[in-house]
Structure 1
Amino acid sequence: MELHVVIKGRKDLAEQLYQQLRTAIESGRLAAGAQLPPSRLLAEQLGVSRKTVSDTYASLTYEGLLIGKIGRGTFVNAWATRAEHVQRAADLACADTLAKWQALPSLLGHPNQDARPRQDFIGGATTRSQFPQDEWRRCTQDALRRIAQSSGFYSQPEGLPALRSAIAGHVAFSRGVKCRDEDIVVTNGAQQALDLIARVVLEPGSIVAMEDPGYTPARLMFEAMGATVMGVPVDEQGLLVDLIPDGTRLIYVTPSHQFPLGMPMSLSRREALLTRAVTLGAIVIEDDYDSEFRYEGRPTDSLQSMDTRGVVAYVGTFSKTLLPELRLGYTVLPPAIFAAVVKAKQLSDQHSSTLPQWALAKFISEGYLLKHIRRCHTVYAGRRERILARLAGDLSPWFEVVPTVAGFHMTALCKVAVNIPLLVELARKVDVGLYPLSAFFHEAPVREGLMIGFGAIETLDIDPALDKVRDILLHIG
């Protein structure tokens, strides 16, 4: 690869070369440690004498910007001082907009492996030890062969037909969703599905109604688009539908496993929600993020399966059944917004990567996904029972559990006054990760407690971790 230097005319050749190399080094375009071409090669590239290049290298070396290493060549000196002449955020016309984005809190992000506590009750993370590496490797190899035989053109924005067909069969079987392949758009995780639907439904000032407490990243995203987000309280039956304000365009709910509290929405509330949405002309986003894992009672219908008027956009993800890093999600869209969402997807990123799409299509069609879900279900059920036993036992003086029958997190509400921030801080010092419930409240009065995830923590770590939590609670009173 040739070094990008432009020489104009035949005058001041050494000065032109000197200034361009110095600017490239000081701006950081030539990074510390980068090797420059040998003087002979650069001279041939630029059509100048080798002496011109050698003299320029010598001048920059004398100034400490370059360093020569015998037998190896000429390199940018790691000690070189680079002058920063970049525009500050405060100097830009968009300074206020940048400040709003920078002020957004970073919630629910998973820490890197080195920063994670060893015994971590984080939500939304899966059991890595159960991931079917061999099966996924075979599916990925098949995907690579398919891509090698492809045309080399961009793919469809709505996703590969093979994956859309596999998803349609999976959600019909596991969740009773009524859909055809043509109703599905494959996305980069559920978060992109939420983003695309909101883009085509909302305008600045539009009203969004969502559960309070609720999924904070969704609220922040809607607000970032300029929407007015109204928190709607929940009770033991779910969203209080009567409190959805007039003028609402978009309603965001988690009816199968309310996030973060965990209870399912009752049948009467689901029916009332659909009626209210039709009256408002609103679209309902049903975020069904982890309901494949059910431990008690009969399965409940998805909200989408009850929808006869085409107002529910069903959003699912494989981050909770496979791995979050795969960033694979989907949405089953009502006809009225399908074409608009596909256009938004195409403008956003053209299409999701086809390599994991092909791999996932084969993974589902070969039955590997259902087998994996069953294996994980057994593991999660055991962890859930262990945590419930402890919360009903020696931790019962401080916490009570919100009844939940699905997913792989639960909520423990405080029965007495507990200094949750202090508990979280002290638990972290003994390598236990705890997560406060308060982060998910918007307008509703905060109820203190913990969201306890059991997807990532190993079963044998649960009791030792909760022993530490109990000891801390006894210590802080």
Structure 2
Amino acid sequence: MLLRPGDVVAVEEPGYPPARRLFTSLGVRVTGVPVDAEGLVVPELPDRAKLVYVTPSHQFPLGRVMSLARRQELLEWAGSRPVAIVEDDYDSEFRFSARPLEPLCTLDRGGRVLYVGTFSKSMVPAMRTGFVLAPPGLRPALVAARQLSDAHGQTAVQAALARFIEEGLFARHVRRAGREYQDRHARVTAALGRIPALDVIPTAAGLHVTAMLRPGLDSSRIAAAARRDGVAVEELAAYAEQPSRTASGLVVGFGAVDPELIEEGLALLGRTIA
């Protein structure tokens, strides 16, 4: 709705590949912007960007949290330009530390931020249900665009989900699942920390952990060898538009892993790296 062919869209580098592919399919120019320990590097944003796509609560795939100062810097940058910010908060239900920072959408005073979320992580991917919180001026056009695309979503599924939320069952489910994922997160982080060749990126949310490899190690060879040994890990370069410019690292997901196999699997990964 907001973009035309030829427009410039800024995404995180490394970042979420399906978002990059979607923007490319619309005929726009996608520009990768580096991220550091505080999040998206705002001075690297292209001046002509019409839209900025970010994951500030749990940067995908590195897992870092955008600092409050960086969030304010991004909003100030957007305030003087005709640009929209899409804030993808894809797994905020599962946070294992103190209260998170305020989302960009609650800090936004200029109506620039569209906040999107999903029930794919908190419930089940097959539900295919997400949501957007948009500035009031955009809502009529968003509704019209949604109606033109396929009229409406799955009304029976959404009605059941609404009732599940209203009765407090969703909150109970998230608390129970959060305890389980926190245990898995702790196990994965500890097991990766015992592998000398890895430097774990601290994170306190989500369903994956990213670890950087020491210089000279080939993440592609390690991931392939691990798969042959029955351990599923992904190389960080798979999330970058320019893999050769991305540091060597591994992404370890634990959303659908038997927790009793975590130590065994990551010990095997350690032996594979060695």
Q: Which of 32, 43, 55 is the aligned partner of 1:254?
A: 55
Aligned ranges 1:375-454 → 2 under 5 Å: 375-393=176-194, 395=195, 397-443=196-242, 445-454=245-254
CA offsets per residue over residues 327-370 of structure 1, 9 Å max, x none? 01000111232222111111111000111011101110111111
Aligned ranges 1:198-213 → 2 under 5 Å: 200-213=1-14
Indicate the percent of aligned positions where both proteins have the same amino acid.
44
| 1:298 Cα offset (Å) | 3.0
Distance 1:424 1:217 in 2: 21
Q: Which of 248, 253, 259 is the aligned partner of 1:459?
A: 259
Tell me the TM-score normalized by structure 2.
Answer: 0.96
**1:329 pairs with 2:110:** no
Equivalent residues of 2:189, 2:209 under 8 A apart:
no
Q: Which residue of 2 aligns with 1:214?
A: 15
Distance 2:38 2:129 in 1: 30
- 2:191 is paired with a residue whose SS is helix
CA offsets per residue over residues 126-169 of structure 1, 9 Å max, x none? xxxxxxxxxxxxxxxxxxxxxxxxxxxxxxxxxxxxxxxxxxxx
Matching residue's letter, 1:383 = R
| 1:443 Cα offset (Å) | 4.2
Matching residue's letter, 2:249 = G
- 2:234 is paired with a residue whose SS is coil
Pick the structure with greater CA Rg: 1
Number of residue-to-residue matches in the alignment: 273
Q: Which residue of 2 aligns with 1:349?
A: 150
Matching residue's letter, 2:185 = R
| 1:258 Cα offset (Å) | 0.5
- 1:370 is paired with a residue whose SS is helix
CA offsets per residue over residues 56-113 of structure 1, 9 Å max, x none? xxxxxxxxxxxxxxxxxxxxxxxxxxxxxxxxxxxxxxxxxxxxxxxxxxxxxxxxxx
Aligned ranges 1:23-422 → 2 under 5 Å: 200-393=1-194, 395=195, 397-422=196-221
| 1:421 Cα offset (Å) | 2.1
Distance 1:473 1:240 in 2: 32
Distance 2:143 2:242 in 1: 33
Equivalent residues of 2:15, 2:240 under 8 A apart:
yes
Computed over aligned residues only, the root mean square deviation of the Cα atoms, in angstroms, reads 1.2
Q: Which residue of 1 aligns with 2:273?
A: 473
More strand by share: 2
| 1:433 Cα offset (Å) | 1.1
| 1:467 Cα offset (Å) | 2.0
Matching residue's letter, 2:234 = Y
| 1:440 Cα offset (Å) | 1.0
Distance 2:112 2:215 in 1: 42
- 1:201 is paired with a residue whose SS is coil
Matching residue's letter, 1:262 = G
Matching residue's letter, 2:109 = T
Q: Which residue of 2 aligns with 1:39?
A: none
Higher relative contact order (CA 8 A, sep 6+): 1
Matching residue's letter, 2:266 = L
Matching residue's letter, 1:452 = V
- 1:450 is paired with a residue whose SS is strand
CA offsets per residue over residues 207-234 of structure 1, 9 Å max, x none? 1011111111101110110101111111
Distance 2:79 2:141 in 1: 20
Distance 1:251 1:336 in 2: 19
Distance 2:134 2:169 in 1: 26
Matching residue's letter, 1:449 = G
- 1:470 is paired with a residue whose SS is helix
Q: Which residue of 2 aligns with 1:197?
A: none
- 1:229 is paired with a residue whose SS is strand
Distance 1:360 1:297 in 2: 28
- 1:263 is paired with a residue whose SS is coil
Distance 1:399 1:288 in 2: 27
| 1:454 Cα offset (Å) | 1.3
Distance 2:215 2:43 in 1: 31
- 2:121 is paired with a residue whose SS is coil
Equivalent residues of 2:213, 2:219 under 8 A apart:
no
CA offsets per residue over residues 235-294 of structure 1, 9 Å max, x none? 100011111111211010000000110111011111111111121111100000001111
Q: Structure 2: 5+ residue runs without aligned partners?
A: none
CA offsets per residue over residues 172-227 of structure 1, 9 Å max, x none? xxxxxxxxxxxxxxxxxxxxxxxxxxxx1110100101111111110111011010
Runs of 4+ with >6 A deviation: none
